[in-house]
Chains A and B, each alone.
Chain A
Amino acid sequence: AQSVTQLGSHVSVSEGALVLLRCNYSSSVPPYLFWYVQYPNQGLQLLLKYTTGATLVKGINGFEAEFKKSETSFHLTKPSAHMSDAAEYFCALSNFGNEKLTFGTGTRLTIIP
C-alpha cells in the first residue's frame, strides 16, 4: 500500500519569507510525486511533478521540490512568499502502471502581510 503524509495542516509565513511545506511518502515501488495547489472554491492545479531523473523539480509560480529517496520526502519550497500563494497545497503519489493518485490531507498556507 502507498501513502502520503503532510506534516502540518496549517502553515503561516510572513510575506517575503521562505515557504516550506513538508511531504513524506510510503511506497513499495519507485514513486511518482506531485504537488497540487487549490485556491478557494476552485479545483486543483498541478504545481510540479517528479517521475524520474533530476531530483530537484521546478514548478510554476517559483515553487520547487526535491525528491529525497533516503528520507522518503518530497518537500515543497519557495524562497520568498507572496500574498497570492495563500491556498491549500496537496502532495500526491502514484506509480508507473498505477493510474490511481493517492493524496495527502493537505496543508493550508497563510501569508502574513
Chain B
Amino acid sequence: NAGVTQTPKFQVLKTGQSMTLQCAQDMNHEYMSWYRQDPGMGLRLIHYSVGAGITDQGEVPNGYNVSRSTTEDFPLRLLSAAPSQTSVYFCASRTLGGKLFFGEGSRLTVL
C-alpha cells in the first residue's frame, strides 16, 4: 500500500550543486504536483502535471525543472541550489478532480 513515495527524506547540499528529488505513485493518477512548505507561508505549488508528457508551472517555478515521462514518476530537479531553496518539499498525486495524496516530504537544506 505504497501510495506516494518520495526520496530522499533528507538532503544537504552546497550552494550551486544540483540534485533530483524523486516522486513515484502507484495509484495510476493522472495529476501529480510538487509543493514547497516554508514556515508561515503554507504550501506553494512549484510545478504540476496532468498526465505523462504534460507539465506546467505553478506559483514558484524558478530554479526547478520537472519532466513526466511515465504516469508513475514525477522527479523535481534543482539545477543550481541556492539557500532560498532550503525547504520541505512535498509531492502529491490524484485523479483529475479527486482527492490529493501526499508523500511524507523531503527536507532539503542548502548551505
Please give the residue numbers on chain A whose beta carbons come within 8 Å of chain B beta carbons, in ascending order: 4, 9, 36, 41-46, 49, 90, 99-106
Taking a contact as CB atoms closer than 8 A, the residue among A42, A49, A90 that contacts B43 in the complex is A90
Interface of B is mostly: strand
Interface centre among B42, B99, B103, B105 (most CB of A within 10 A): B42
Interface residues of B, count at CB 8 A: 23
- Cross-chain contact B58 with A99 (CB below 8 angstroms): no
Interface of A is mostly: strand
Please give the residue numbers on chain B whose beta carbons come within 8 Å of chain A beta carbons, in ascending order: 4, 31, 33, 35, 40-45, 48, 50, 58-59, 90, 92, 96, 99-100, 102-105
Chain B residues in 8 Å Cβ range of A100: 45, 48, 58-59
| Cα distance, A13 to B84, chains bound together (Å) | 35
Chain A residues in 8 Å Cβ range of B44: 103
CB pairs A–B below 8 angstroms (24 shown): A4-B42, A41-B104, A41-B105, A43-B4, A43-B103, A44-B43, A44-B92, A44-B100, A45-B102, A46-B99, A49-B99, A90-B43, A99-B31, A99-B48, A99-B96, A100-B48, A100-B59, A101-B45, A101-B100, A103-B42, A103-B44, A104-B42, A105-B40, A106-B42
